[in-house]
Amino acid sequence: MKNKHALRLTASILLMAGVLWFFWSQVRRHWDQLEHLHLHFFWPAMLLALVLVLIHYVIATLAWRTVIVGKSGQPLTITQSIGLSNISQLTKYVPGKVWSYAIQMHLLAAHGISKSRVLSVNVIMLLSLTGSSTVIGTGYLWFSGMILPRPLSALIFSAALTAYLLLVFGGTWTANLLVRLINRLFRQRIDTFDAPLATMIRAHGLNLLSNLLYGISGYFVAIGIGMPSDFALIVPISAAMLLSDTVGFFVFLAPGGIGVRESVMYAMLKSAVDIQTCFVLPLAFRLVTTINDLILGGTAAVLLNHFSKRSTRRSAADDLQL
């Protein structure tokens, strides 16, 4: 166990060292363009980006609630859903990625929702969000012909699109197939679940909409740090935001995908925007998303504390009546 922990720690250190070396080499290479860097912040655009990311999270929460409630019709209000789903924003930078699910399992047990259903739904919602992000991101890579050879990017895009369409229109059959696969590969005991196809398609549609808003928010962050307005850049910037976020999430060695997300974003934007924006945008976007994490996580903590106190008062009132 100690050897495994030491190996993981070593791999994390090497990864972060590689990321730092990559950015340092790029700074040295483009120093003549960066030494006279002057940022001109346009705060209305930054505020709009912040709001768009916030809406992204809220819409994703509605998608999560659509499936977590399911046919059972558990009494879970929108406000409760925001609290229960987004408390995980405070744990996303903690190594391990599983703390968010553990907290949800504990809290949702009081609402009569099984731990297995919580885990299953979260896995499917994660695949839904990352699936649409991957399709958009790899589609742009194929179209632009950058980073990867076109035949390879076309193959990756085709595989991502096929998998995503199967996830969306396969309903719970595809979802449960993935659950069984995860059980076999990782020796887990996650139960399958049932939900109407219309419910699943609606949830996937909400997740797609939330991702589109998330990608577009990156464009307004770029405007906010002084990039000239050019609507043609919405597509490359959105694709970079989405694909880099997905890659960063799945790199378990970097908490919150720190460094990895920024590296992918930089690589995708290097040929699309000026070098100053290319360097600053990943950092500015990280700042915007971190602020949203704190806002949503803090709001969720306040809401859950309020619900807990109300439940305690209700229980005390019931005891007095008895």
pLDDT class for 78, splitting at 50, 70, 90?
A: confident
Alpha-carbon distance 180 to 299, whole Å? 35
The answer to whether the CB of 268 falls within 8 A of the CB of 23 is: no
In a domain, 315, yes or no: no
In a domain, 87, yes or no: yes
In a domain, 112, yes or no: yes
For the segment 63-92, the average pLDDT, to the nearest whole number, is: 74
In a domain, 153, yes or no: yes
In a domain, 143, yes or no: yes
Alpha-carbon distance 64 to 158, whole Å? 27
Residue 255 has pLDDT above 60, yes or no: no
In a domain, 223, yes or no: yes
Can you state the angle between helices 115-144 and 197-224, rounded to 10 degrees?
Answer: 50
| pLDDT, tens digit, 9 for 90 and up, residues 260-280 | 777 788 888 887 887 788 878
- Could you list the residue range(s) of the whole structural domain that residue 230 is in? 53-306
pLDDT computed for residue 185 by the predictor: 76
Residue 71 has pLDDT above 70, yes or no: no
The answer to whether the CB of 174 falls within 8 A of the CB of 38 is: no
pLDDT class for 41, splitting at 50, 70, 90?
A: confident
In a domain, 25, yes or no: no
In a domain, 2, yes or no: no
User: Tokens 């020796």 label which residue?
Assistant: 187
86-95, 125-134, 294-303 — most confident range: 125-134
Cα dist. 49→53, 93, 142, 266, 269 in Å? 6, 21, 27, 19, 18
- As for how many domains the chain has, the answer is 1
Question: Does residue 36 or residue 141 have the better pLDDT?
Answer: 141
- Residue 128, both tokens: 């839904």
pLDDT computed for residue 109 by the predictor: 75
Backbone CA torsion sign across 174, 178, 179, 181:
positive
Residue 155 has pLDDT above 70, yes or no: yes
